Structure 1
Amino acid sequence: MQIDLIKGHGSGNDFLIIDELKKDYSFSDSDRADLARLLCNRDSDLGADGILFVMKSDHANGRMRVFNADGSEASMCGNGLRLVARYVCEDQGLNKAVIETMKANLQISKQQDLFQDVHTYQVEISPVLFELKALPLNLNKPTLFNERIAELSEELRFTALAVPNPHLIAMVETDQLQIDLQQRLSEKVNRPNKLFPDGVNVSFVKQLKAGSIYVRTYERGVGFTNACGTAMSASSLVTCLTGLNEFEKIIDVYNNGGRVQCVVHRCEGTYSIDLIGNATYLYKASIMVSLDERSFRLESRNDFTEQQTYERLQSEAQQLIENAIKG
């Protein structure tokens, strides 16, 4: 089977985009999982954090399904949604559109460049759920906001929420970022455990200054990533709820892959987040795949030049992180 794809990234969180809007592929869900495990392998000719399948929708401009590198399906992906937003907008000649995701239909739009010549898109992150059963998190309470979990840490305070991916967020200091605490904790809750039976994304968040945060995320099904869009959105919301940042104002969110912006909206007790950031294409490729043999061959590859521009944004962000976090 021949498959055409685009590799791109949002904040360094990289994906393979497979078009099912115009291409007549007939993948089963098992095929999608197998493709993700095969093509996303970092030792292969491609490698990525996951695959974005762009599909037809009965009631939106397109539909996004996200399969992680381990073959699991994610209910949402903010960085991936920006890539799908760009793909659909350019394909259909639009500046605004609606994308169907597993849990919601989300508004997306093209925006002014976040950094000179960096393709920038805004995507809606919602719904926001605080009920622990939405993650799920097995604790004898309905919600968890800025509280300790004795089984995980005696010092950290956590907030749990789903957007709709499950997130566990801790505000930390610099010294807590410099040790392996996050890795040990994240691996614990993403192995078989009683607290998080389905695993959870774990983010450590450091306030840099008013309106500016650093977020590092261990993503379930992936591990540490350069950035996780829903995690940055959820982290921004938590900083607003704790009074560190303000609702309806731009928050600059720095990550190991670069920088995005978030705006947190509150309306009658409900929340949504706008995630604004790059949608950068790396290359187009054509591959020949045999799922029966669990193998593929790279037939052709044509590189874009956008990464050179994005690296200027990334360099600026990494310099700030280096000064503020690593000392």
Structure 2
Amino acid sequence: MIIEILKCHGSGNDFIIIDEMNGQYSFSEEERVVLSKQLAGRDKTVGSDGILFIQDSQHADAKMRMFNTDGSEAEMCGNGLRCVARYVIERLDKEELIIETMKADLPVAHVDDIFDDIVTFEVAIEPVSLSTQTIPLVSNQADHIDQVIEGLPSHLKFTGLSVPNPHIVTVVDEVNVSEVQNIGEKANILKDVLPNGVNVSFLKKVADGQIYVQTYERGVGLTNACGTAMSASSLVSCLLGLNTFDEKILVLNPGGMVQCLVKKDDHGQYFIRLRGNATYEFEASVDFNFANPEQTELLDQTIFEEEIALYDRLATAAKKMV
């Protein structure tokens, strides 16, 4: 079977897009898992942090489903949503639209460049909840804010939230990548405390209005960036007084940078807007054999060299700011 793919990334968090709109393909749920495991893993045919399936929606402009490299489906993916936003906006020739995700229909829009010549999109990260039941996180508190989590090292205090996928965020003076990896792995086997697993982020304040975030992503591992994690970390930075609500926050990460805006309404509800790149790396055809996935071949690859070079400038600038 020949499958057309598009490789893209948001802040270095990279994905494979497969367009299923208008009945172009008809995969079973089992086939989506097989595709994700064979195409997406770093040692597999293409290599990425996951697959974005774009489908028709009955009530929105399009529907996004995101599958991790282990075949699990994520509730939400902020960086992936920006990539989907660009693809559908260009496909439908619109400047803004609504994308259906697992938990909510979310507005997305083409906005002013975040960096010179970097095509930029803004997406809503919703719904947001601090409730430990929503995450879920087993805690004796209704909201678990800047506290130790049972089973994790006591020198680290975490804030738990869902956006809507589950996150825990800790504030540190310096980010140790090995520690992020170790804590991420440990948190995801603490099923008596975090039954659905969790994304783990280490947050460092760089300057007023600027933070650095490194994330261990559930179902993936260490990533260059995680859109929902950067959004969650921005909210945590406001909750703990490191940043201010209603003011843009520059979020630096190993893959580059994004902007987040966190708002709180009169009813205590939180709203987050994530703004950043959606860079195309290459398009190609894949000759996929579901009977024998290991025989899959990548064909007819076209690389978007200019877009890659432009984003490299942003990534270089971001590294100098950390």
Would you say the 8 A contact 2:8–2:282 is kept in 1?
Answer: yes
Are residues 1:137 and 2:167 paired? Answer: no
Cα deviations across residues 218-266 of structure 1 (Å, max 9, x unaligned)? 0000000000000000100111111211111110000000000000011
In the alignment, which residue of structure 2 is the partner of 1:279? 278
Residue 16 of structure 1 aligns to a residue whose secondary structure is: strand
Q: Deviation string for 1:282-302 (max 9, x for gaps)? A: 011101111121231112111
C-alpha distance in structure 2 between counterparts of 1:24 and 1:246, whole Å: 45
Q: Give yes or no for the alignment of 1:315 onto 2:316.
A: yes
Matching residue's letter, 2:104: A
Superposed CA deviations along residues 173-197 of structure 1, whole A, max 9, x for unmatched, are 11xx236332222111112531112
Q: Distance in 1 between matches of 2:236 and 2:3?
A: 41
| Cα pair distance change 1:316/1:179, threshold 3 Å | closer
For residues 179 and 297 of structure 2, the distance between their equivalents in structure 1, rounded to whole angstroms, comes to 40
Determine the C-alpha separation between the residues in 2 that align with 1:160 and 1:303: 40
Cα distance in 2 for residues equivalent to 1:286 and 1:183? 34
1:155 Cα shift?
Answer: 1.4
Count of matched residue positions in the alignment of Structure 1 and Structure 2:
319
CA distance in structure 1 between the partners assigned to 2:19 and 2:145 by the alignment: 40
2:247 paired residue number: 249
Distance in 1, matches of 2:172 and 2:270, equals: 23
Residues 179 and 99 (structure 1 numbering): CA distance in 2 closer, same or farther, change over 3 Å? Answer: closer
Q: Is the 8 A contact 2:150 2:193 kept in 1?
A: no
Q: Which region of structure 1 is more displaced relative to structure 2, 3-12 or 140-149? A: 140-149
What amino acid sits opposite 2:254 in the alignment? N
Aligned to 2:288: 289
> Are 2:236 and 1:235 aligned?
no
1:134 match: secondary structure? coil
Distance in 2, Cα, partners of 1:45 & 1:150: 39
- The aligned counterpart of 2:197 is 199
Aligned partner letter, 1:278? N
Percent of pairs with identical residues = 48
Alignment counterpart, residue 217 of structure 1, candidates 205, 215, 218: 215
Superposed CA deviations along residues 28-85 of structure 1, whole A, max 9, x for unmatched, are 1111111000001222341110000010001111000000011000000000000000
Residues 41 and 150 (structure 1 numbering): CA distance in 2 closer, same or farther, change over 3 Å?
closer
Residues 179, 10 of structure 1: alpha-carbon distance in 2 compared, 3 angstrom cutoff: closer
1:297-308 correspondence to structure 2 within 5 Å: 297-305=297-305, 306-308=307-309
Alpha-carbon shift at residue 135 of structure 1 (Å): 1.7
What is residue 46 of structure 1 aligned with on the other side? 46
State the superposition RMSD in angstroms. Answer: 1.2
Moved more, 142-151 or 56-65: 142-151
The residue number in structure 2 matching 1:6 is: 6
Q: Kindly indicate whether residue 167 of structure 2 is the aligned counterpart of residue 167 of structure 1.
A: yes
TM-score calculated relative to the size of structure 2: 0.96
Shift of 1:315: 0.5
Q: Separation in 1 of the partners of 2:118 and 2:228?
A: 21
- Equivalent AA in structure 2 for residue 215 of structure 1: V
C-alpha separation in 2, matches of 1:245 and 1:204? 16
When the two structures are superposed, what TM-score results if normalisation uses the length of structure 1?
0.95
Range with bigger deviation, 276-285 or 289-298: 289-298
Secondary structure, counterpart of 2:9 in structure 1: strand
Consecutive unaligned residues of structure 1, counting only runs of 5 or more, are: 322-327
Deviation at 1:108, TM superposition (A): 0.3
Alignment check: 8 A CA contact 2:10 2:82 kept? yes
Q: Could you tell me which amino acid in structure 1 is paired with residue 181 of structure 2?
A: Q
Q: Which amino acid aligns with 1:319?
A: K
State the distance in 1 between where 2:221 and 2:303 align.
27
Mind listing any 5+ residue stretches in structure 2 that lack a counterpart?
none
Displacement of 1:99 in angstroms is: 0.3
| Bigger shift: residues 134-143 or 196-205 | 134-143
Q: Which amino acid aligns with 2:207?
A: K
Q: CA deviation at 1:150?
A: 4.0
How many angstroms does 1:123 deviate by? 0.2
